[in-house]
Amino acid sequence: MRLDKYLPYALLLPSLIWIIMIIGYPLIYNIWLSFHKSTYGIELGPFIGFDNYIKIFLTDDVFWGDFINTVIWTVGNLFFQTVIGLGGALLLNQAIRGREWIRGLVILPWVIPTVVVSLVWRWILEPDLGILNNILHYLKLITQPLVYLGSPSLAMLSIIMINTWRFSPFAIVLILAGMQTIPRDVYESAKIDGASPVATFRYITFPLLSPILTFVGFIAFVWAFNMFDLIWLTTEGGPGNITETLPVLVFRRAFKEYRMGQAAAITTFMFLFLLAFSFLLIKRRRG
Partner 1 sequence: MTTQKVDRRGLLRVIGGTVAGLVVGGALGYLLKPTGVIERTIERTVPTTVTVTQPVTVTAPATPPPVTPPKKPIELVYWHHEAPSHRVAAHQKVLDLFYKETGIKVTQQVVLWGDAWTKTLAAVKAGNPPDFELSIPDLTLAVYEAGGLAPVDDIIKMVDEKYKLFDNVKMCYYWDGHFWGVPIWEMVWTWLYIPSYYEKYLGTKEPPKTWDEALEYAKKLTVDVDGDGKIDIYGMGETGAKNLCTQEYAWNIMTTFGASVFDDNGNVVFDSKETIEALTYYKKLWEYVPPGALEWSWGEIELAFAAKKIAQMPYFPAIQKRFYEKEDPAERKDLAAAPMPTNKVSANLHYPNDAIIFTKTAEDPDRLDAVMRFIEFVHRPDINAILTAEQEPGAFLPCTEAAVAPESPYWKDPIISFYPELNRIAVEAVRKGTLYGFGPKGLQNKKMGEVSGALVLAEVVERIVTGAMSVEEAVKWGHKKIEEIVKG
Residues of the shown chain interacting with partner 1 in the complex, contacts defined by CB under 8 A: 1-4, 6-7, 10-11, 13-14, 17, 39-43, 122, 126-130, 137, 143-145, 147, 149-152, 235-240, 252, 255-258
Which residues lie below 8 Å from residue 196, measured CB to CB, with a gap of 6+?
A: none
Residues 228, 243: contact at Cβ < 8 Å?
no
Tell me the three state secondary structure of residue 143. coil
Query: Least Å distance between CB 36 and partner 1?
Result: 13
Query: Least Å distance between CB 119 and partner 1?
Result: 9
Nearer to partner 1, 103 or 122 (CB): 122
Nearer to partner 1, 256 or 283 (CB): 256
Nearer to partner 1, 55 or 103 (CB): 55
Nearer to partner 1, 255 or 279 (CB): 255
Tell me the C-alpha distance between 103 and 93, whole Å. 10
Tell me the C-alpha distance between 146 and 137, whole Å. 10
Query: Least Å distance between CB 25 and partner 1?
Result: 16
Amino acid at 243: T
Cβ count within 10 A of residue 9: 9
Query: Least Å distance between CB 10 and partner 1?
Result: 6
Which residues lie below 8 Å from residue 268, measured CB to CB, with a gap of 6+?
A: 30, 31, 34
